[in-house]
Amino acid sequence: MQAKQDIDLRELTGKLVDWLKAMVKEAGARGLVFGMSGGLDSSVVAVLCKRAVPEDSLGLLMPCYTNPLELKHVWKVAEDFQIETKLVDLSDILSKLYFKLEDRPYSNKEVSMPGANLKPRLRMTSLYYLANKLNYLVVGTGNRSEIMMGYFTKYGDGGADLLPLGGLTKSEVRQLANVLGIPTEIINKTPSAGLWEGQTDEGEMGITYNELDRIIQGIDKGEITDIPIEKVKKVEEAIKASEHKRNLPRMFQPKDFEGVK
């Protein structure tokens, strides 16, 4: 059974690489640029991009008061897979912008969603600057589990041209990472977006990835078993509430108001 799963995952890897190649060609672009955070998803994306366009893939390191361990993991992946990287430290820019907005110093220990969301939005700006300069496409790192929950920053890490992992749950990405040879310490570490000190993905979402993925798969099949109903409702409510994050901005259409007085 394990052998069959490995074959399927290797086939999936080939399809993902071919898709990235096709997207670059279709857009008339030269290559791909992506953020590298030291996490599971960004590491998988980095390796896929490297395979798709070996000479024109660029990993951008954009620390914003980032845990040094995360940067260590980035360098490990970059070295193991010979991925070209560029370091752009955004910590000082984040501090200055936050002070302009709030009239007080930024603290990475403060749990502030508006302040935390500045990080991915500054990173998106940096990615698109280089994408414009190099004629590259921006590759996002979001997976299906997070996208369905709306667990991403609008016009931040949600801002991308391509989402190769968008159809895969976190569990599936983890399996793919094993096949790609991503270092074990990256695969097994606690997922965190690094929004503030001590922040974790599961803690913020209020559900484990294992539970979330089982619910998503259950929704696909039309049958959810062995999951507490309150967890299921939590996910369904999050999917509904975050619908706006998965769509383009709503535009006024005069026809929508025809006949309305």
Domains of the chain, by residue range, sit at 2-247
Mean of the pLDDT values across residues 91-109? 94
Position 103 scores a pLDDT of 95
For residue 3, the model assigns a pLDDT of 41
- The CB-side HSE value for 128 (13 A sphere, CA atoms) comes to 14
Reduced 3-state DSSP string for 34-61:
EECCCCHHHHHHHHHHHHHCCCCEEEEE
Q: What is the pLDDT of residues 9-68, one digit of tens each?
A: 889 999 999 999 999 999 999 999 999 999 999 999 999 999 999 999 999 999 999 888
Round to whole Å and give the CA distance between 30 and 110. 40
Is 109 strand, coil or helix?
coil
Q: Which residue has the higher pLDDT, 183 or 199?
A: 183
Task: Name the average pLDDT for the chain.
Answer: 92
pLDDT digits (tens, 9 = 90+) for 122-168: 999 999 999 999 999 999 999 999 999 999 999 999 999 999 999 99
According to DSSP, the residues that pair with 58 across neighbouring strands are: 33, 84
Instruction: From 145, 141, 181, select the one nearest 164 (Cα to Cα).
Output: 141
pLDDT at 43: 98
Burial environment of residue 67 by CB neighbours within 10 A (0 to 12, 13 to 18, 19 or more): middle
Per-residue pLDDT, 259: 60
CB atoms within 10 A of CB 31: 20
CATH number of 2-247: 3.40.50.620
